């Protein structure tokens, strides 16, 4: 027995204190996942140092060289060794971890990088001499004199040479360079007044500039708009709605694109909290909820949104990489995003993205016929054009007497094909604004009994009559349902659904919201709930299946739109069946009435599935199609 006890004691694990080098390598595994992570940490340090210009140079996708140059405040020579010590930082004093106003605060980046690579820092504070310090594999060298203007140059070579196993997980140079570019662009969005330059110096020399964004000027919104146009492209800037809202100490600014400027993936969604790029499930869910009624499930909105609040209201010390945050009141942040975006989309009215017109022009562009140039005379006045068009109208001689007796009377003409209706709208009096001055213009014809052709002051509009009217009917149905409670249908025998304890509590926490949508649930004892009412518009439903789907959605996204989605899908089908059908001929007054209602109805620029309801073509673009430039 004693021998057995002695054997057990001999095999007991021994607790050891890890050395500083091992601790730093472990920390590097959390902070520095790949070269892009190192770039993020170093650029954030430069921003915290008050830099106005930051240049990033990388070689071999950051595997062999990362060099960040800035014109910030610098580090004094006596502070350089301390900067390479673990948990040493100038960002906070450690008294309050919820009062953080900088990107960095953990004091882990530089010692972690020095533990897995060859790190060298050259820095100079204004009014002092420049100094340099180097560290390789955790071994810190002495401070040496250096030659440098104000600011810092941080150079990291041979990343992960001290941890060879990590090198096996590196991707290709091109993939790592793409990740670095994405990091620099996100930080450039967060700081529009700072100039950023990214160089690929693979092969030596000055290399080539792969990204450049000079510091913007003007107010915050102008600077942000210019920076987003530079990074996300002019098309995003042209089709983005300005967002400016605040609620209970949380402010939301940024730009969100129109629904018709949607993307096939969520890669064009950029979210920031107090200037920090984050990937937060709560915020992504709120963005999706804001566009919920305007996009099909396979399309994603494009947006760059910035939340600013008192640091006490958000905890950024959730993850070493600081890419996740936790709000003190998550519902407040989510509600602000949803309401602000929906308000901006409603104010956009019938507006559709310019990319719709560009795609249309691209599809219509004729094949080049040669270098011959056609010179165009000055455009005649509206009156002269109208007279000329009437003079060139077919059958003028046969109808001239009728026109003379009833000037401006509507005329419906059906060609031999029976597929085009030419409409002449009644003339307006001189003191009334013409219909052409309206955003969607005046109806001039109907093509293939489905597309309305309207003339605007500077171009033309093609309207899909069925899709447009479907959206109008849908918006009316939604408004009626919002003004009245969703009708509920009581179940003859309540359906009992057994859940887990956590699932039951989570679902009951959303009971009030579900009741507003016509789904009434209540506790039934233990871990079961009773479903007493379901939305009447859904008809007969499998209550248990619906409850489980709602619970899955709550677990995944923190909120559920399943019931609302089912109800609105039915409203959409009702709107589809109750709208003007394709193939129906419309009178001039009907077409103009549809155009006016579109102008007055929010979200009429896209149908219930996110497709555009109309295309606007400028006269200059149409003339360019025919070489009349």
Q: How far, in Å, CA of 34 to CA of 73, rounded?
A: 27
Domain 220-348 in this protein, CATH class: alpha beta
Give residue for tokens 């559920």: 560
Domain 470-578 in this protein, CATH class: alpha beta
Largest distance between two CA atoms of the chain: 127
Cut 0.75: pTM above it: no
State whether residue 538 is helix, strand or coil.
helix
Are the C-beta atoms of 184 and 54 separated by less than 8 Å?
no
Domain ranges of the chain: 20-213, 220-348, 470-578
- Residue 79 tokens read as 């502070």
Q: What is the pLDDT of residue 30?
A: 60
Model pLDDT, residue 400: 38
CATH of domain 20-213: 3.30.565.10
| Token pair of 542 as six digits | 């499998």
Give the torsion through C-alpha atoms of 392, 395, 401, 403, to 10 deg: -60
pLDDT at 324: 74
pLDDT at residue number 612: 82
The pLDDT of residue 254 is 94
pLDDT value for 366: 55
Q: What per-residue confidence (pLDDT) applies to 189?
A: 94
The pLDDT value recorded for residue 346 is 82
- Residue ranges, the chain, pLDDT below 70: 1-10, 17-31, 87-107, 317-323, 350-433, 485, 556-579, 608-609, 629
DSSP-derived letter for residue 397 is H
- Provide the pLDDT for residue 368: 52
- Specify the pLDDT at position 414: 36
């Amino acid at each position: 027995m004693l021998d057995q006890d002695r054997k057990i004691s001999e095999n007991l694990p021994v607790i050891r204190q890890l050395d500083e080098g091992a601790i730093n390598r472990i920390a590097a595994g959390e902070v520095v996942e790949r070269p892009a992570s190192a770039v993020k940490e170093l650029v954030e340090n430069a921003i915290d140092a008050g830099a106005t210009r930051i240049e990033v140079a990388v070689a071999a996708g950051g595997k062999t060289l990362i060099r960040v140059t800035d014109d910030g405040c610098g580090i004094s020579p006596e502070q350089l060794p301390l900067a390479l010590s673990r948990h040493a930082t100038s960002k906070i004093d450690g008294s309050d971890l919820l009062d953080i106003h900088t990107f960095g605060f953990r004091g882990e980046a530089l010692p972690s990088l020095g533990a897995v690579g060859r790190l060298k820092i050259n820095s100079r504070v204004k009014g002092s001499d420049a100094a340099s310090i180097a560290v390789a594999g955790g071994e810190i060298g002495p401070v040496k004199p250096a030659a440098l203007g104000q600011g810092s140059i941080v150079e990291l070579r041979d990343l992960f040479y001290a941890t060879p196993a990590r090198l096996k997980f590196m991707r290709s140079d091109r993939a790592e360079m793409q990740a670095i570019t994405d990091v620099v662009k996100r930080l450039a969005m967060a700081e529009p007044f700072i100039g950023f330059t990214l160089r690929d110096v693979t092969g030596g020399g000055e290399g080539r500039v792969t990204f450049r964004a000079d510091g913007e000027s003007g107010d915050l919104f102008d600077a942000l708009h210019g920076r987003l146009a530079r990074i996300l492209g002019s098309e995003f800037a042209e089709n983005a709605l300005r967002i400016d809202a605040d609620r209970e100490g949380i402010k939301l600014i940024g730009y969100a694109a129109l629904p018709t400027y949607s993307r096939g993936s969520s890669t064009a969604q950029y979210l920031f909290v107090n200037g920090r790029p984050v990937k937060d499930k709560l915020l992504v869910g709120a963005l999706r909820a804001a566009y919920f009624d305007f996009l099909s499930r396979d399309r994603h909105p494009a947006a760059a949104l910035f939340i600013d609040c008192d640091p006490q209201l958000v905890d950024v010390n959730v993850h070493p990489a600081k890419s996740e945050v936790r709000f003190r009141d998550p519902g407040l942040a989510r509600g602000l995003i949803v309401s602000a975006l929906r308000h901006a989309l409603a104010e956009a009215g019938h507006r559709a993205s310019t990319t719709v017109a560009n795609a249309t022009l691209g599809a219509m562009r004729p094949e080049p016929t040669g270098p011959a140039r056609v010179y165009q005379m000055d455009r005649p006045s509206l009156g002269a054009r109208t007279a000329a068009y009437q003079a060139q109208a077919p059958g003028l001689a046969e109808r001239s007497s009728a026109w003379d007796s009833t000037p401006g009377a509507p005329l419906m003409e059906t060609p031999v094909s029976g597929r085009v209706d030419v409409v002449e709208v009644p003339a307006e009096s001189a003191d009334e604004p013409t219909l052409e001055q309206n955003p969607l213009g005046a109806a001039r014809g109907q093509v293939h009994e489905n597309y309305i052709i309207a003339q605007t002051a500077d171009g033309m509009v093609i309207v899909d009559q069925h899709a447009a009217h479907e959206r109008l009917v849908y918006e009316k149905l939604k408004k009626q349902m919002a003004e009245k409670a969703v009708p509920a249908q009581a179940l003859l025998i309540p359906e009992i659904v057994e859940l887990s304890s956590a699932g039951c509590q989570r679902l009951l926490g959303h009971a009030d919201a579900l009741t507003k949508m016509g789904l009434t649930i209540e506790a039934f004892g233990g871990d079961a709930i009773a479903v007493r009412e379901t939305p009447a518009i859904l008809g007969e439903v499998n209550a248990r299946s619906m409850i489980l789907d709602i619970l899955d959605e709550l677990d995944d996204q923190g909120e559920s739109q399943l019931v609302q989605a089912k109800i609105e899908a039915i409203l959409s089908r009702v709107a589809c069946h109750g709208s003007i059908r394709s193939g129906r001929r419309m009178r001039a007054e009907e077409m103009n009435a549809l155009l006016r209602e579109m102008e007055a109805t929010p979200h009429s620029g896209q149908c219930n599935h996110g497709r555009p309801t109309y295309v606007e073509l400028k006269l200059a673009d149409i003339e360019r199609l025919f070489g009349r430039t």
